[in-house]
Amino acid sequence: MNELQNMLEESVTRLFSEQIDRGFLAKVEEQGWSSELWDLVSEQGLTQVLSSEANGGMGATWADTFVVVRACGRYAVPLPVGEQMLALWLLERAGLPAPEGFIALLPTVLNAGATVTAEVARVPWGRQASHFVGLDSVGDLVLFEAAQASLTQGQNLAREPRDTVSLKDAKPLARAASTLKPDAIRWLGALLRAGQIAGTAAACLELSVKYTSDRVQFGRALSQFQAIQNHLAELGGAMASVDTMARTAFLALDARGLADASDASFEIAAAKCRASDAVELLTRLSHQVHGAIGFTYEYDLQFLTRRLWSWRAEFGTSGEWGEYLGRIATATGGDRLWALVTA
């Protein structure tokens, strides 16, 4: 890790480990939001890591950003830190000034034209937004005020807000060419969730190792049993695979962007496919080694696993990204498949 990454890792670890525990997570789950933590996160500039220094940000690379995103997963941060990071990056990139407050991402491609009509489902923390930002079918970035939309509340399995946002003949507050592909928000969202899953996988592994090392049965720690060690080793492998592929995708985005045929799409698709695919094993074995306690609301594990079950599907399932990769593979052909893997 470079200096900025070490600094980021230290500050997010300190902040989140001080602020977040199971009582806090339960409270936020009930209330849907924590202004205290949001303010702390914003004050430390964590939502602005990707923004330029001229704009008050850190001018970080995507690789640096991975450290923050992963920590959000590791501590089950119940706020849209990554989403805000992406929204601010999109706006700055398109040359639009960022409004105050939380700017929610609209994950579907909007219609081009002077006004937008759309019903966008599963908008992360839509209800908390002061503004919405989306991309239309010609790749223009469009910004709306929250008041322009009507909203129906929803939530995912972790009770994170996932709201339906309806726009009717809404005239964007601002508009600018993005030079991104029209569905770029879906790709960035997939990258974000892959990075979070990498962090949550690490947390599942840590919790599983700790619990099985502390818990004694038949006169020895559970972790001394080979059957348990086997489960832990599998969790370790799954974590490492998700982590490696997610980081590879963040780095690819630094190197090649998200605008043309040679961009980071392949790595992002592979990262979300691998991450979503790993969720089954991660959740099943973490719960298995925890026994009944892991199945209770009182214990931390469920804050992690319920997120994994939701994030697995958000911004594309393993099947959807797998199909995308499968189409690239068949179009490339067997003889050039290795060149594709090593590109």
Partner 1 sequence: MLNIESLRFPRYEQPASLAPLREEVRAFLDESLKAYSPLVRSNTWDGFDPDFSRKLGAKGWMGMTLPKAYGGHERSALERYVIVEETLAAGAPVGFHWIADRQSGPVIARYGTEAQKQKIIPGITRGEVCFCIGMSEPNSGSDLASVKTRADKVADGWLVNGTKIWTTNAHRADYMIALLRTDSSADSKHRGLSQFLIDLKATKGITARPIKDLAGRGHFNEVSFVDALLPADALLGKEGDGWKQVVAELAFERSGPERYLSCFLLLSRLVDALGKDASPAALAKVGAELAWAVTLRNMSLSVAGMLNEGIDPGLQASIVKDLGCQFEQRLPGLAQELVGLEPTLADAGTDFQQVLGNLMLLAPSFSLRGGTLEILRGIIARGLGVR
The reply to whether 264 sits near partner 1 by the rule CB under 8 A is no
Q: Which residues of 165-191 are buried (b: 16+ CB within 10 A; e: fewer)?
A: bebeebebebbbebebbbbbbbbbbbb
Q: Which of 247, 290, 306, 312 is close enough to bind partner 1 by CB under 8 A?
A: 247
Which CB atom, from 149 or from 235, has the smaller least distance to partner 1?
Answer: 235
Strand-pair partners of 119: 166
Contact pick of 4, 7, 240, 259 for partner 1 (by CB under 8 A): 240
Least distance to partner 1, CB of residue 32, Å: 30
Q: Judged by CB under 8 A, does residue 171 bind partner 1?
A: no
Among 236, 259, 280, 309, binds partner 1 (CB under 8 A): 236
User: Should residue 291 be labelled a site residue for partner 1 when binding is judged by CB under 8 A?
Assistant: no
Amino acid at 41: V
Q: Using CB under 8 A as the criterion, what x/- string covers residues 194-223 for binding partner 1? A: --------x--xx--xx-xx---------x
Q: By CB under 8 A, tell whether 183 contacts partner 1.
A: no
Phi, psi dihedral angles at 115 (to 5 degrees): -125, 155
Residue 118 tokens read as: 């759309």
- The answer to whether residue 138 forms part of the interface with partner 1 (CB under 8 A) is no
Q: Does 254 bind partner 1 (CB under 8 A)?
A: no
Interface with partner 1 (CB under 8 A), residue from 34, 84, 248, 283: 248
Assess 64 for contact with partner 1 (CB under 8 A). Answer: no
The CB-of-90 to partner 1 minimum distance in angstroms stands at 26
Find the binder of partner 1 among 8, 245, 285, 301 (CB under 8 A).
245
Contact 113, 73 (CB under 8 A): no
Residue 227 contacts by C-beta under 8 Å, 6 or more apart in sequence? Answer: none
Q: Is 284 in the site for partner 1 (CB under 8 A)?
A: no
Q: Does 319 bind partner 1 (CB under 8 A)?
A: yes
The reply to whether 342 sits near partner 1 by the rule CB under 8 A is yes
Q: CB 218 → partner 1: shortest distance, Å?
A: 16
- The answer to whether residue 335 forms part of the interface with partner 1 (CB under 8 A) is yes
| Binding residue count for partner 1, defined by CB under 8 A | 60
Distances (CA, A) of 190 to 271, 275, 287: 8, 10, 25
Nearer to partner 1, 157 or 251 (CB): 251
Q: Which residues inside 13-52 make contact with partner 1, applying CB under 8 A? A: none
How far is residue 184's CA from residue 265's CA, in Å, rounded to a whole number? 10
Instruction: Check binding of 322 to partner 1 (CB under 8 A).
Output: yes
Residue numbers at the binding site for partner 1 (CB under 8 A): 63, 202, 205-206, 209-210, 212-213, 223-224, 226, 228-230, 232-234, 236-237, 239-241, 243-245, 247-248, 251, 266-267, 269-271, 273-274, 277, 318-335, 337-342
